[in-house]
Structure 1
Amino acid sequence: MNTTISNSTLSASIKHSGAELFSLKNKQNKEYIWEGNPDFWGKHSPVLFPIVGTLKNNTYTIDGEEYQLPRHGFARDMDFQLVKKTDNSAVFSLQSDVETLKKYPFEFELQLIYTLEEASLNIEYKVINKSKTKMPFSIGAHPAIALPENFENYALEFEKEEVLKYYILENDLISNKTEVLETTDNLVPLNYKLFENDALIFKSLESNSLTILENSKPYLKFDFKDFPSLGIWTKDQAPFLCIEPWLGYSDTAENSGDLFKKEGILALDANQTFTSKFSITLL
């Protein structure tokens, strides 16, 4: 099943499977979300929960007991319930169940709240800990923006002038190797060579937003002040770019396996709620 919301400027469509955004169009019917062609990458905008990235050996421990989770967790592959809808907003909910408890021993509710506001789509994550103990988790976004022109016609403009240091992935884990993303007049021209070692992982940024430029003109803007980390990714020759606001990231090779000690992990007290939000604005 799918749900569509709209206002006078935009429309957005969300699959109930994964509560995944798969379409964001302006009134001229121009599509801004990647179509999901499986020849390149068969998803559009999955939610990453209860981990972001890859665990060492896909394994972690809680109180000495071992569990396994696939890359980016399980929420993106589960069916959400539509619990509230208006013309311009929709709220989706995922509740823990017998199957999730086998992989992740915590009772939770995860809500994705989509709201259209003028030329922006706001995407809010709400994590509710229904357990009687602290709950470790990460959460992140993975929206793929369709880039219909030649990839080299696009550039990124970060909100602030800063040293754009990113970490290199090795076997899907964060290595100690870093590079600096070169800028030209505060712009990062896009080319596929940037992604030959997979995603660019920024553990922390001063910028709270970035703009995608098409032929030097503003195309689309991400605002992600609630998210300290960011991933940027595409596949060779693919006509999309993923801008991924994260709270957390992959394990390092030195990780102990204890989820509470994982770098970048959050811990939510019993019966408490965590919220974070980012937005995509069409320019």
Structure 2
Amino acid sequence: MQYLENEYLKIAVAEHGAELSSIWDKKRNKELLWQADPKFWNRHAPILFPFVGNVVNDEYRYKGQTYHMSSHGFARDMEFDFVGKTDDSISFSLKATDETRAKYPFEFELIVTHKLEGNKVNVIWEIKNLSDSEPLYYSIGGHPAFRCPINEGEKRTDYKVKFHDAKDLKYVLIIQATREVDHECPTKLTLNGDILDITEHLFDKDALIFDNNQVKKVSLCTPDGKPYITMDCSEFPSFGLWSKPVIDAEYVCLEPWFGRCDNKGFRGELPEKYGEQELAASGSRTISYSISVN
């Protein structure tokens, strides 16, 4: 585990999955990141790469060959190499191995950096295509879980989600039997202004998925409507809002994504998959989002 702190925050990042594992708020003297109670969900903030969500039957196709891939790819379950640390940042790296090539036939490097900037954690991903002749196809996303509630005597259902500058939001759901997205049946989100109440049954049908760059900035709010966590994910086309549906699961995930589960009925090749990203030979791309403690 590597640690980093400033006058506002102290964070911890694990070598396993380069996973953000703690956000300690010095002002409140509280932990704000979910602490991975296995009774409900045994992760903190996994990085989803090179897939976000599931592929149908845990299979996908590329150049006529079928490969097997588990939910959310493999990066979250692998040991990253420690790259280095500065006064305000920690970086880890994952490169293609024989193990990854067997299920994902691409040469890549993923560099994950967590950087402190005042009361904000910047999460920065650099994806590199290490092939000098073939494109790299990938999806990538964040899955941070935040404590909800954060105060004694409160319940998750006392809390709220604030969608900044969002109007007429529509979400789609995952078909549980196949793990496909029912993209042809969007549902309008009922808000009070820009506020969504976290009700007991909000997550009964799994994640609420917002496509088409609908969600750019979102906050978790205490019962009085004041944000305590704000995520800026303006460059991400898709966004997921999720928790286990049981009321005792005291966390909510804010999930910025490039790519997601397959659309209902999709059986094409990887480059045709919804939200799939393409990186040219020898190319690189940097993607980031931020978590602010309010």
Equivalent residue for 1:168, pick from 167, 170, 173: 173
> Paired residue for 2:34?
34
Aligned partner of residue 192 in structure 1, secondary structure: coil
Q: Which amino acid aligns with 1:128?
A: K
Tell me how many residue pairs correspond in the alignment: 282
Query: In structure 1, what residue type is equivalent to 2:233?
Result: F
C-alpha contact 1:20 1:76 (8 A) present in aligned 2: yes
> For 1:186 and 1:246, how far apart are their aligned partners in 2?
21
The answer (yes or no) to whether the contact 1:52–1:73 under 8 Å persists in 2 is yes
Q: Which residue of 2 aligns with 1:7?
A: 6
Residue of structure 2 equivalent to 1:47: 47
Matching residue of 1:133: 134
- For normalisation by structure 2, the TM-score amounts to 0.93
- Structure 2 gap segments, 5+ residues each: none
| CA distance in structure 1 between the partners assigned to 2:200 and 2:92 by the alignment | 35
Q: What letter corresponds to residue 212 of structure 1 in structure 2?
A: L
Secondary structure of 2:101 counterpart: helix
> Quick one: which of 227, 237, 252 aligns to 1:218?
227
Write the deviation string for residues 172-194 of structure 1: whole angstroms up to 9, x where unpaired: 21013221110012211111311
Moved more, 231-240 or 186-195: 186-195
Q: Deviations over 1:140-166 (max 9, x none)?
A: 000000113311221111111311111
Q: Distance in 2 between matches of 1:26 and 1:63?
A: 48
Aligned-pair distance for 1:4?
A: 0.6
Could you say what the CA RMSD is over the residues aligned between the two structures, in angstroms? 1.1
State the Cα distance separating 1:26 from its structure 2 match: 1.5
- Structure 1, unmatched stretches of 5+, are none
Task: Letter of the 1:77 partner, please give it.
Answer: D
Who is 2:155 aligned against? 150
- Return the letter of the residue paired with 2:124: E
Q: Which amino acid aligns with 1:231?
A: G
Separation in structure 2 between the aligned mates of residue 6 and residue 87 of structure 1, nearest angstrom: 9
**Aligned-partner Cα distance in 1 for 2:124–2:220:** 21
* Residue 194 of structure 2: aligned partner: 186
Instruction: Tell me if structure 1 keeps the 8 A contact 2:230–2:291.
Output: yes
Using the TM superposition, give the Cα deviation of residue 168 of structure 1 relative to its aligned residue in structure 2, in angstroms. 1.3
Q: By percentage of residues, which structure has more strand?
A: 1
Shift of 1:212: 1.3
Partner secondary structure for residue 70 of structure 1: coil
Paired position in structure 2 for 1:66? 66
Q: CA deviation at 1:206?
A: 3.5
TM-score, normalised via structure 1 length: 0.97
In structure 2, C-alpha distance between the alignment counterparts of 1:38 and 1:138, rounded to whole Å: 26
Deviations along 1:214-235, one digit per CA (max 9) or x if unpaired, are 0211211000012111000001
1:204 touches 1:230 (CA, 8 Å); kept in 2?
A: no
Identity among equivalent pairs (%): 37
2:166 & 2:240 partners in 1: Cα distance?
18
Alpha-carbon shift at residue 129 of structure 1 (Å): 0.5
SS at match of 1:57: helix
CA distance in 2, matches of 1:240, 1:106: 35
Q: Alpha-carbon deviations, 1:249-278, whole Å to 9, x = none?
A: 101231124101101101110110011100
Residue pairs, 1:78-157, within 5 angstroms: 78-131=78-131, 132-148=133-149, 149-157=154-162
Residues 71 and 257 of structure 1: is their aligned pair in 2 closer, same or farther, counting only changes over 3 Å?
Answer: farther
Q: Is the 8 A contact 1:56 1:257 kept in 2?
A: no
Query: Matches of residues 261-276 of structure 1 in structure 2 within 5 Å?
Result: 261-276=272-287
Match of 2:15 in 1: 16
Task: Please identify, of 64-73 and 154-163, the stretch whose mean Cα deviation from structure 2 is larger.
Answer: 154-163
- Whole-Å Cα distance in 2 between the matches of residues 18 and 105 of structure 1? 20
Equivalent-residue separation in structure 2 for 1:168 and 1:253 (angstroms): 11
